[in-house]
């Protein structure tokens, strides 16, 4: 496994739409492993492939320690409710904002072996799914923030 460099806001790669993964290969599994190591080293709870310069539809999320969720070609198939909470991003260091997100989402994706599965999440996990899937379409949380926070407002 290798720690990858996280691309920062302003890099054009973050604004591109990612291509689907055509086949889940050993190279994709290595990417997943490297993304997990990178996310953990940066103390994040999610990371999308474009954040490490790879324009593929691959995401990792870990909102609970030790419970990594790997998503290949993910898409939201259901959502309900509403939440307004604070978000930040490893690619937008030092900035935080309030976003509107669904309270509950269900995502359909492939796992690291190419098997399709559905996973549902609420609250922080729902936010993380939405945030990371937005990255796959070149969208940053700052695009969706209803209000950016000042340094004094960040806990």
User: Where is 131: in which H helix or E strand?
Assistant: helix 124-135
Q: Which pLDDT belongs to residue 78? A: 98
Q: Which domains does the chain have, with CATH numbers?
A: 12-153 (3.90.45.10)
Closest CA to 78 of 20, 134, 129, 124: 129
Q: Which pLDDT belongs to residue 155? A: 62
Parts of the chain with a pLDDT under 50: none
Q: Where in the sequence numbering do the catalytic residues fall?
A: 132
CA distances from 88 to 25, 91, 108 (A): 31, 9, 24
- Vertex 138 angle, CA 149 and 74, to 5°: 105
Global confidence as pTM: 0.96
């Amino acid at each position: 496994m290798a720690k990858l460099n996280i691309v920062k806001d302003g890099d054009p790669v973050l604004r591109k739409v990612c291509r689907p993964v055509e086949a889940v290969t050993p190279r994709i599994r290595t990417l997943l492993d490297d993304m997990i190591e990178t996310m953990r080293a940066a103390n994040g709870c999610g990371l999308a492939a474009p954040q490490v310069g790879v324009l593929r539809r691959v995401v990792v999320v870990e909102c609970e320690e030790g419970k990594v969720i790997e998503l290949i070609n993910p898409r939201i198939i259901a959502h309900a409710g509403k939440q307004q909470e604070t978000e930040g991003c490893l690619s937008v260091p030092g900035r935080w904002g309030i976003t509107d997100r669904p309270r509950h989402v269900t995502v359909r994706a492939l796992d690291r072996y190419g098997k399709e599965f559905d996973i549902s999440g609420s609250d922080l996990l729902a936010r993380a799914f939405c945030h990371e899937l937005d990255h796959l379409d070149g969208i940053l949380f700052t695009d969706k923030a209803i209000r950016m926070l000042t340094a004094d407002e960040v806990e």
